[in-house]
Structure 1
Amino acid sequence: MEKDLTSGSVLKNIFTFSLPYLLSYFLQTLYGMADLFLVPSSMLSTVSALGA
């Protein structure tokens, strides 16, 4: 499937071209947020298990 980027709306072509990047950036941000909240809680239980 080929798309001619030299015709049509410029903004629509830019948005269509950047959509995969925006989606991957959003998913990577969600992964980072989940990592930020889940890792410290698992580290606390690991540290407390070592101290017990």
Structure 2
Amino acid sequence: MKEYKIIKQTGTAVKSQQDFEDLINSYAKMGWKLVNLVTHRGILKAAIERKKKEE
């Protein structure tokens, strides 16, 4: 089974773009995989997934 999360870009400008890239990379290090990237009203939103951890 997989779990999903939606993350969004905060703020605007070039620094925000780099911050968003860094955020996606930090999730990747935790096992999350980017599955979709969209823009809505100028804000980037990313859908990420990973295998759900068994408890």
TM-score range relative to shorter protein: 0.3 to 0.5
User: Which entry has the higher C-alpha Rg, 1 or 2?
Assistant: 1
State TM-score, norm by structure 2.
0.34
More strand by share: 2
State TM-score, norm by structure 1.
0.36
